[in-house]
Amino acid sequence: MSGLLPSVLLLALPGLLGGRPRYEPTWASLDARPLPTWFDEAKFGVFIHWGVFAVPSFGSEWFWWYWQKEKREPYVKFMKANYPPGFSYEDFGPLFTAEFFDPNQWADILKASGAKYVVLTSKHHEGFTLWGSKYSWNWNAVDVGPKRDLVAELETSVRNRTDLRFGLYHSLFEWFNPLFLEDASNVFKTRKFPTSKSLPELYEIVTKYQPEIVWSDGDGNAPDTYWNSTGFLAWLYNDSPVRDTVVTNDRWGAGGICKHGGFYTCSDRYNPGHLLPHKWENCMTIDKRSWGYRRNANLEDYLTVEDLVKQLVETVSCGGNLLMNIGPTHDGRIAAIFEERLRQMGAWLKVNGEAIYETKPWRAQNDTVTPDVWYTFRPKEGKVNAIFLNWPNSGILELGEPQARLAETQDKQWSEIEDIDIIAPLASTLTQQRQNY
């Protein structure tokens, strides 16, 4: 009978291989995968939108679509005023030069920001890949423009110089790719584009760069079955080189956002202001109007550091992560305004990081008496952090949520207040004062 034991164990545990769970290519199975703990502990990441759209650097990273498809007047006028007749979007490719791109400098700025992960746009909806993809011939950063593998360079610097997790954004669809347009005209009953372009790219970047965040976007109104998203994710979770640590978002097909995936994004700049039952991320921009770099941005278009800290505190108090976006220039620079904001965030987190990193939502997310007071909880220490964003006019901070509890010894009883750290608002010097409540 002992000879039958191995086969009995295999039948009893069909989802395990060497003690590791195996995930089926179904949402029921994939959604049951526990989110790797590092992501919830990290709380703060930096998004980088970089591509050929940084060459015109006008209006939005959706420049090509607004100019050629929607023919929005400001974009049409901009092209007529500044470029010769017949100039195409593809002609911007050689002008995406990145001559000032210093990945070590970028990594040092990212480290100074206090962020724990970074997500780079490996390919946006324009289809231009920042690496020399075999599946994007003559429309990638190795063949055109910089003649450099920008993904590899940043990945190496981030991993050699920082403790940030490295992640990659990838757009499933491409606005004007003929194969995608053909599939769309067939109501996605044909699958030429995902099988020959999008899916091979995803396997390529995961195998080559081993990103610990795969940030998908741009379903092109096609269902996840068209993209074979569940098949890719099953491979990612079961057999990829990052299967133990990788996290994914929820943008894998039309109708799936905020329903399926590792963490939920729900929409751009999503900030519900209340606790959610599922891990989520608020992806937002320092430039209020664009994800990509804009030469025509004004100072008031950029969020202040006070705005950004408020977003971080509100997001973390409600169980989310903040993914804060910058847009580098076509020549590879992180503009001074973005660098300043990143370093300001790092200065605040250097003092107050223990109220952010590795925290959990408390029983109350914000205070019921004083506005703009948000709570986080450190389970290891059993400590609550009360983060207030504005000085009370009275000079006295009144909190409604902390509760007195009865303590006692053999000789007496007394009331004591829950152990709470008070995190003061930003001062002009970005230094903070802390005290025990």
What digits encode the pLDDT tens for the residues 121-141?
Answer: 999 999 999 999 999 999 999
pTM above 0.75, yes or no: yes
Q: Which pLDDT does position 407 carry in this prediction?
A: 53
pLDDT at 413 over 60: no
Q: How far apart are CA 366 and CA 138, in angstroms?
A: 52
In angstroms, the CA 227 to CA 68 distance is 26
pLDDT value for 18: 57
How confident is the model at residue 297, as a pLDDT?
A: 97
298 neighbors 304 (Cβ within 8 angstroms): no
**How much of the chain exceeds pLDDT 70, in percent?**
89
CB atoms within 10 A of CB 82: 10
- The pLDDT assigned to 271 comes to 85
Q: Which residue has the higher pLDDT, 437 or 402?
A: 402
DSSP H helices in 228-286: 229-238
C-beta of residue 119 within 8 angstroms of C-beta of residue 154:
no
Condensed to tens digits (0 to 9), the pLDDT of residues 336-395 reads: 999 999 999 999 999 999 999 999 999 999 988 888 999 999 999 999 999 998 888 888
pLDDT in tens, 294-336: 999 999 999 999 999 999 999 999 999 999 999 999 999 999 9
* Model confidence band, residue 418 (pLDDT cutoffs 50, 70, 90): low
| Euclidean distance between CA atoms 97 and 52, whole angstroms | 9
Q: What are residue 269's DSSP bridge partners?
A: none
Helix (H) or strand (E) segment spanning residue 161:
helix 150-161
* Local structure of 47: helix, strand or coil: strand
List, as own/partner pairs, every contact residues 156-163 make where C-beta atoms lie below 8 angstroms and the sequence separation is at least 24, other chains included: 156/103, 157/103, 157/104, 157/106, 157/107, 158/103, 158/106, 158/107, 158/110, 158/118, 160/107, 161/104, 161/107, 161/108, 161/111, 162/107, 162/108, 162/110, 162/111, 163/111, 163/116
Percent of the chain surpassing pLDDT 90 = 79
Q: What is the pLDDT of residue 391?
A: 82
Q: Which of 325, 337, 336 is nearest to 124 (CA)?
A: 325
pLDDT of residue 405: 61
Q: How confident is the model at residue 269 (pLDDT cuts 50, 70, 90)?
A: confident
Element (H, E) at 352: helix 336-352
pLDDT value for 4? 37
pLDDT of residue 431: 37
What is the pLDDT, as a whole number, of residue 15? 53
Please report the pLDDT score of residue 20 as a whole number. 82
159 class by beta-carbon count within 10 Å (0-12 exposed, 13-18 middle, 19+ buried): middle
Q: Which residues contact 140 (CB under 8 A, 6 or more apart)?
A: 128, 129, 130, 131, 132, 133
The whole-number pLDDT of residue 419 equals 67
> If you compute the radius of gyration of the chain from its CA atoms, what whole number of angstroms results?
24
Q: What is the mean pLDDT of the chain?
A: 90
